[in-house]
Chains A and B, each alone.
Chain A
């Protein structure tokens, strides 16, 4: 179908994003244009900005946020929200640090982290679907629960000295003068898998159907319960994976880690063109959303004269602009 309805644009790039005519990609294309524009502006303005390594570092520094945003994208596509992911990241760093400190094998430790996050996601999903609790409230409870558990494990920061972890953390893949870390590769892999699942599997299409109209999806005989719980499980898993990547990045467990990171993730998803009411959006957009937020940080650090609070102000303005644009875009729909 992509070949027949997408004239002259059926490149691999389009296939990754889905198989729809370009009009549906407009928000994603807008975000891409913004990213390219910001990168170009930086390249013109600051020396050394146009170095490809700047891009690769952007991926490395934001790998965990990309994974987090992918998970949240699933939830938002169904019309839900997941506020717990930041706390789950903190809890993950803490579980990793604590279990390693207790002498667990690094692989067992990682398994424990992923299992905890997934389980928390499952719990919230069950609450949302079977007890009909609003996602905002259910995941707000999850936010407090995960943060509280983190404090319960330790109020002090615990550093990670395990050899496997440190090796993973510093291991790089080199292409000539340039390098990426494994976490960046994992992040891109997660994006690719998620994009495939959303575009081409029954589960993924059901996610969109629920976002469009949950009652209709039910009457169409789709597996609404499975899918709705499933997105929170995916989000929980992604959050704990992001937590693992974050602990590799920062090499410590701390109950003060990742405070407010869920909001960064949600902001990235919205800037990436996903409708908060559900049903429209692509994970590639969320990836671009994270990169846009990241490049703003990079720009400000290159500038050197601007304070870091400008990051927040610009993020706020961008978010507002995108929500307003989306409002107009969705109003045109019949």
Chain B
């Protein structure tokens, strides 16, 4: 049912077509916001039947470029050519009418309507002025089927997992005769299977001649699906490359330049303080909570980084929440520095010098309408109680100190949190907890969705904090990161700890095997030792 204007081209990832005119060409695009040059003379060519990855750190100008293409921002100089003709879109709707559709990371659909309504509302088939439900469902089913998604179009959207909702959003975009489909970080909330499902749909659309723009922080995914990429840095074009001919290392260098060295340095500076002290700072014995965590033990020593590895839903976040008192335990004991403690609320935990940075920084961490300084001082103020304000001089000193220590940009304490990039927001949250001088720091996905530069800085900071004697529980979906930072590794699956070992010579495939449950004998060996 979706008619593509572009010619049907059969392509695979290996042999992308080169000698054709681009569907969309953006030439020398410049955009300034006030005095800030957001994009300067950036050019991008999108071809039919190709997946084009837009690469760059946060703040490199990827989203600005997308918004320039889809008519959200107006362009100061440069031209957008659609099929060789000059165009300028005044709104996302105008861009949509020209066949350019965008699907954002947050699914912009309505959960309380049916799948079919979400796909077709606004241009639904009608009969006698009323919505022709049967025809609408038929059309929706057909489009979904064409994407290889077989769900009941009459079911409510909200009943389906996020991954399916995202596919429905894509189906809606495709049904508007999309020639260009922009996917802005579509994989960040999907698990591996769901990503494969999405890629399958993307390959199908590519086969139908759609030009797909793919934005992602996951390099492996880019290498799996993309044909061509455009690399941006600081609002400037660094280069256009074919994915097949570009080694990952080169790409990373192009994206971040010198900051790669920080990562490499970190690898060598593995701290070896683990197990130095005999009594654990924190000892959880047999803690559990119905429906979230099976009986689990955990010990944490001074200056040690314990990495929690496991898939989404394996219980890693749940364990962290129990240790912080965000949820209460049904059974088990927590001992802090030799004393038994009941952690009934985060307040109790904070009083015992435990800090927890949530994985959901948007809704459980930062207060977007407050300034950077206010956000930083929130936890300290809360632990002091509202009747004892922090003296102005101390406030300024602390904020100044952490802006510098964590290299937060812009280093402006009065900037509103909502205007900061993801990486800098995360640093502010880290600063918030560091200001309270915790003994135990629980970091749940502190580097998710932030650029490589900021990631490296946060990782370096974590290593530094551990060297200062703070005990850290580090949770991340990225196993490489967990392995790089941890002294000891705890592997979770099905809501319990399935393995624990010192991080000596463990590599990602070992961890994956443990998670997959294939190395039982090996694990027994480790336990016996």
Contacts and interface: CB of A to CB of B under 8 A. Distances in A.
Interface string A282-315: 0000000000000000000000000000000000
Given A215-B108, A219-B108, A5 B154 contact: yes
Contact of B121 (A4, A209, A213): A209
B158 interface: yes
A211 interface: yes
Contacts of A4: 154
B111 A208 contact: no
Interface in B110-168: 110-114, 117-118, 121-122, 124, 126, 129-131, 133-134, 137, 152, 154-156, 158-161
Interface residues of B, number: 32
Given A209-B121, A222-B121, A1 B154 contact: yes
A220 B107 CA distance: 11
Interface stretch (A106-114, A199-207, A257-265): A199-207
Interface of A is mostly: helix
A334 B112 contact: no
B112 A208 contact: yes
B93 interface: yes
B96 interface: yes
Interface of A: 1-2, 4-5, 19-21, 24, 196, 200-202, 205-206, 208-209, 211-213, 215-217, 219-222, 279-280, 333-334
A279 B112 contact: yes
11 contacts: A1-B133, A1-B134, A20-B154, A201-B129, A201-B130, A202-B124, A205-B124, A208-B112, A212-B111, A221-B93, A333-B158
A247 to B, nearest CB: 33
A304 to B, nearest CB: 45
Nearest to A3: B134
B137 A1 contact: yes
Q: For the complex of A and B, list the 10 residue pairs with the smallest distance between their C-beta atoms, beginning with the closest.
A: A212-B110, A279-B112, A200-B130, A212-B112, A219-B108, A216-B108, A209-B110, A5-B154, A1-B154, A1-B137
A229 B15 CA distance: 53
Given A5-B152, A202-B124, A209 B113 contact: yes
Of listed B108, B112, B152, B160, residue having the most chain A CB within 10 A: B112
B92 A219 contact: yes
Given A1-B137, A334-B159, A200 B131 contact: yes
Given A1-B137, A20-B114, A216-B109, 10 more contacts: A1-B154, A20-B154, A21-B155, A201-B130, A202-B121, A202-B122, A215-B108, A216-B110, A220-B121, A334-B158
Give the one of B110, B129, B152 with max A CB within 10 A.
Answer: B110
A19 B133 contact: yes
Contact of A217 (B110, B129, B160): B110
A222 B117 CA distance: 12
B122 A220 contact: yes
A279 B156 CA distance: 12
Nearest to A201: B130
Contacts of B118: 220
